Structure 1
Amino acid sequence: MKLSDFDFDLPEHLIAQTPLEKRDTSKLLILDRKTGKIEHKHFYDIIDYLNEGDILVRNNTKVIPARLFGTKEETNGHVEVLLLKELHENTWECLVGNARIVKVGTIITFGDGSLKAECMEVREEGIRIFKMIYEGIFYEILDRLGTMPLPPYIKERLENPDRYNTVYALVEGSAAAPTAGLHFTDEINKKLLEKGVQIVDVTLHVGLGTFRPVKVDNVLEHHMHSEFYMISKESADILNKAKANGQRIISVGTTSTRVLESNYTKYHTFKETNESTDIFIYPGYEFKAIDALITNFHLPKSTLLMLISALASKDLIMKAYQEAIEREYRFFSFGDSMFIL
């Protein structure tokens, strides 16, 4: 499998720069992976495709204002820091712009000096381990000094930072949004529950594993960066019961999919856990946990595109993507959606 197998041409004007005024008015492409049939709807029509007894699994992670701009104490050199994940109390793995000037012992000051970071370890590909130095409550300081970590292909300013979080975001810790969930509204969630769809939450803090580009031509040589995930006992019990009863398990997004597939593959059941996963799903993978997937339209050559190609076949996904381009669907984080049946 070559990286070029997962490439496609996307007109730049189809890269969504801002969220739609109403979350659920995005387009929805329905793809039946058994028949190859494609339908074009709107996201609010998703209710018609979910049935009583279905289990809808969401990622309830919350994006934090993880992008920080600071200066190196010794030289006043500018440094951009993206918080990826908290390794343990006050110690964070970060992706650093201008990383070559940040060495062990470097201290970076942010904003008014109420937050400093000391480099404790240098890792490859611009990653550094920092000890955070501050007084007070870390997330309150971050709210004041940090900005939402929008992807680099979004050039427009985000007027309302809440739009880069799902309406059900709860557990702080993500460096990027689980974007398939951005289409859901409180009203849609309410209608699904009234219809008899059971909603289950899991948590995966999105980090480098999800958005890191593939840099090797041989796909199988790519190594996924690990991301932290959690499944509660309550969620595991519901999922195991559903599996035993033959109910459909539908994941919202590739992050929820990676949680479920990683957990079920490891334990051969759904199990309560707090741990990390570096599962890499690409064509040839046999899905064990999910039956269907709600997702966005992904970047060319990305691990996310590889994951959905494993579920529906690369040829079928590329056919659907071409049709979406012809019909002017919006792509990537603030773009339109797809339901793979």
Structure 2
Amino acid sequence: MKVAFKLALLLLLATTSVLVAQRPTNPQGSGSGNFELNNQNDPSQNQFLTPVNDIVEKRTKVERSILPYEEVREADIMWQKRIWRVLDVREKINLPFANPQRPLITILLEAADTNLIQLYGTLDDKFTTPLTQLERDAIAGGVDTIAVPDPETYELTYKYVPRELNPADIRRYRLQEIWFFDKESSTMKVRILGIAPLKDVFDENGTFLYELPMFWVYYPGARQMLANENAHVAGNDAANRSWEDVFESRYFNSYITKESNVLDRRIEGYLLDGRERLMEAERIKQEILNMEQDLWSY
């Protein structure tokens, strides 16, 4: 035992001596100085921390997923009505739609540019005509034609420059949705079909002419993209609310402008007074809500 112990001790001392002999010496006499010198010589080493503009890096946004819609059979849809409504971003509850840092219109246009969503034309509300890239540039801000003179020949060449859209110009959105009664669950349900930003059109003198929908976004196809975008929550910057949550939980205020009818008329088509329009919109809303209650007997 004593011999084995002495052999192990000698082996340990020999190994320690080899390690000490192979350790590089520091010409400046400081281990920390040698570490800094190596970092300066190696450009791949970064001695500064990567800035995180928060307490922790937000990963919930990247890892968020949507909940699929419940499957509904056509035979179970006992009653349905198509509704068009307008959302005004100037209302207090709707202010997140016009957040200067990242408004909804910017999110939609960036998603279209990266092919995350498809934009559709406004000739109808049926999502049948996808927009081309040229049409996207035209509706985003229009195109200016600029004459550029040649410095040598003085000949004019015309250059097309797309105008950038000012998000502050989008003050209202049009929503298309369907309310239906599912007899399998005996409940009234609603599903949003489309979102269309509305743009004001003015004449040369700056006089307001009319309001024009820019494009349609098919909402069921944009849910995953909207789920990956955070929506501002007043009073709590740590709130984990996505734009998909805003629409599914209906964290917005709006008013009805049209219901499906035989003449395909909007409320403004048969009522001129603004107060009467709001009263008609409220009547349609109550009619839908009472539909579910009227099916029950007590």
Q: TM-score range by the shorter chain?
A: under 0.3
Q: Give the structure-1-normalised TM-score.
A: 0.22
Looking at secondary structure, tell me which structure has more strand per residue.
1
Looking at secondary structure, tell me which structure has more helix per residue.
2
- Higher RCO structure (Cα 8 Å, ≥6 apart): 1
Larger radius of gyration: 2
Q: Give the structure-2-normalised TM-score.
A: 0.25
